[in-house]
C-alpha cells in the first residue's frame, strides 16, 4: 500500500508542478481590487477569522513553535519535495517562525499520500499516542473524514523562559522521523501561575508546538497547484489550527472552497506574523485581543 501512496503522490506532484508553472493567456493582465472596510466591518471579520481558526477559542493559550522548525516532505519526488520545502521555509521565515538549517531532525512532516483516510487510520492503529492531543469530538472526522488535507499536533508546557517543566516526559522520534510524545495537561487559566508586574500579567507558562503532521490526500486535492498546497501545509503546521467544518473564505484555509486563493492571503500573513510576535505567557483573552487587532488593520475583504 505504501508504494501505491508514493506513486500516486509523485504523479500528483508532477501535475501540480506543471499547473503552477503554466499560466493561461492573459492571466498576467488580471487586476484584483479589494474593498476597504469600515473599522466596524474589519473588526467583525477579524473576530470571525480568529474564531474560525480555533486559536485561543476558550481559556487555553496560544501554542506556537519555540524550538526551530524542521520540515520533512514525504511521498514526492526530490524535485517536487524541494518546491514544497522551499515554500514552507519562505513562509516560516517571513512570519518570524524559528527555522532549523537543512539536514536537521524533522519535527514537521508533510505527507503526500494516495489515501489520506487509510494513512491516518494506520497511524491511529499503529501508534495512537501520535493522535493523543486531537480532541475526542474531532478524532473520528480526522481519521475517517474526506478532507483533502488533514493535520494534527503535539504540544508541550514550558516555563516562561522556554525551559521544559519538571516531570514532563520528553518527546521522542518515531521510526519514520516524526516526533511523537505524550499528551500534556491543558494550560487552562485555572491551573496557571501568575506573576504581576507594573503593566503585564504573566502566566509563567508557555504552550509550545513540538510536532506537527500534515497529510495531503493526492486523490482529493487534485486541481490545486503545488504552491497553494504547500502554503496550506505550511500555514497549518506553523499554527495550532483546528480542522474546519467549512472552507474559510479569504484564507488559504479556503483552498478547496468556491473561491480558492493562490497562496496565503494578507489576513493569513498578518495572523501568522502576530502569532509569532505574541508573548506566550499571557492569558488567552489577551492573546485573542492582539490577534483581532492585527487582523483588523488589514482592511480588505476576505
| 24 inside domain | no
Q: How many domains does the chain have?
A: 1
Express each pLDDT in 194-219 by its tens digit: 444 444 577 888 899 999 999 999 99
**Does residue 165 surpass a pLDDT of 70?**
no
Confidence of residue 189 (pLDDT cuts 50, 70, 90): very low
pLDDT digits (tens, 9 = 90+) for 46-58: 999 999 999 877 7
Distance from C-alpha of 193 to C-alpha of 205, rounded to nearest angstrom: 8
In the prediction, which pLDDT does 47 show?
93
pLDDT at 180: 44
pLDDT at 122: 96
Res. 89: pLDDT tops 60? yes
Q: Is 27 inside any structural domain?
A: no
Q: Please determine, for residue 158, whether its predicted confidence score (pLDDT) is greater than 60.
A: yes
Residue 175, pLDDT score: 32
- Determine the average pLDDT of the residues in 263-278: 96
**Residue 124 lies inside a defined structural domain of this protein:** yes
What pLDDT, on the 0 to 100 scale, is given for residue 178? Answer: 45
Above 90 in pLDDT, residue 64? Answer: yes
Percentage of residues of the chain with pLDDT beyond 70: 74
CA atoms within a 13 Å half-sphere pointing along the CA-CB vector of 214: 29
Q: pLDDT at position 214, please?
A: 98
Q: Tell me, yes or no, whether 302 lies in a domain.
A: no
Model confidence at 28: pLDDT above 60: no
| pLDDT of amino acid 162 | 63
Q: Is 255 a residue whose pLDDT tops 50? A: yes
pLDDT confidence of residue 123: 95
Res 9: pLDDT: 55
C-alpha cell at 200: 503585564
> Is the predicted pLDDT of residue 21 greater than 60, yes or no?
no
Cell of 302: 476576505
Would 22 be classed as within a structural domain? Answer: no
Is 272 among the domain residues?
Answer: yes
In a domain, 158, yes or no: yes
Q: Render the chain in DSSP notation, one character per residue.
A: -HHHHHHHHHHHHHHHHHHHH---TTGGG----PPP--HHHHHHHHHHHHHHHTTT-SSPPPEEE-SPB-EEEESS-HHHHHHHHHHHHHHHHHHT--BPPTTPPPSEEEEEES-HHHHHHHHHHH-GGGGTTS-HHHHHHHHH---SEEEEEEEEEEETTSPBPTTPPPPEE-TTS-EE--------GGG---EE-SS-EE-SEEEEEEEEEEEEETTTSTTS-HHHHHHHHHHHHHS-PPPPSS--TTSGGGTTSSS--SS--HHHHHHHHHHTTS-SSS-HHHHHHHHHHHHHT--S--
Q: At 10, is the pLDDT very low, low, confident or very high (cuts 50, 70, 90)?
A: low
- Over 60: is that where the pLDDT of 106 sits? yes
* Domain-embedded: residue 276: yes
Domain range enclosing 171: 2-17+40-296
Amino acid at each position: 500500500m505504501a508504494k501505491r501512496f508514493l506513486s500516486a503522490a509523485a504523479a500528483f506532484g508532477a501535475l501540480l508542478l506543471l499547473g503552477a508553472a503554466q499560466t493561461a493567456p492573459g492571466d498576467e493582465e488580471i487586476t484584483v481590487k479589494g474593498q476597504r472596510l469600515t473599522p466596524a466591518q474589519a473588526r467583525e471579520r477579524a473576530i470571525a477569522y480568529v474564531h474560525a481558526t480555533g486559536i485561543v477559542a476558550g481559556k487555553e493559550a496560544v501554542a506556537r513553535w519555540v524550538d526551530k522548525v524542521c520540515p520533512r516532505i514525504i511521498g514526492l519526488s526530490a524535485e517536487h519535495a524541494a518546491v514544497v520545502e522551499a515554500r514552507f521555509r519562505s513562509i516560516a521565515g517571513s512570519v518570524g517562525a524559528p527555522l532549523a538549517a537543512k539536514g536537521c531532525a524533522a519535527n514537521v512532516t508533510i505527507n503526500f499520500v494516495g489515501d489520506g483516510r487509510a494513512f491516518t487510520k494506520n497511524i491511529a492503529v499503529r501508534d495512537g499516542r501520535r493522535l493523543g492531543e486531537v480532541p475526542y469530538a474531532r478524532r473520528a472526522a480526522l481519521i475517517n473524514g474526506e478532507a483533502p488535507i488533514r493535520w494534527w499536533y503535539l504540544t508541550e508546557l514550558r516555563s516562561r523562559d522556554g525551559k521544559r517543566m519538571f516531570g514532563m516526559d520528553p518527546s521522542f522520534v518515531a521510526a519514520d522521523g516524526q516526533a511523537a510524545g505524550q499528551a500534556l495537561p491543558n494550560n487552562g487559566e485555572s491551573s496557571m501561575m501568575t506573576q504581576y508586574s507594573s503593566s503585564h500579567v504573566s502566566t509563567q507558562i508557555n504552550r509550545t508546538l513540538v510536532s506537527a503532521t500534515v497529510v495531503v490526500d493526492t486523490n482529493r486535492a487534485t486541481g490545486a497547484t503545488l504552491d497553494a498546497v504547500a502554503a496550506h501545509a505550511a500555514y497549518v503546521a506553523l499554527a495550532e489550527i483546528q480542522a474546519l467544518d467549512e472552507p474559510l473564505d479569504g484564507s488559504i484555509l479556503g483552498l478547496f472552497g468556491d473561491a480558492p486563493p493562490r497562496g496565503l492571503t494578507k489576513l493569513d500573513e498578518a495572523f501568522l506574523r502576530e502569532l509569532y510576535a505574541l508573548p506566550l505567557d499571557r492569558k488567552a483573552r489577551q492573546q485573542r485581543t492582539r490577534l483581532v487587532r492585527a487582523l483588523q488593520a488589514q482592511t480588505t475583504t476576505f
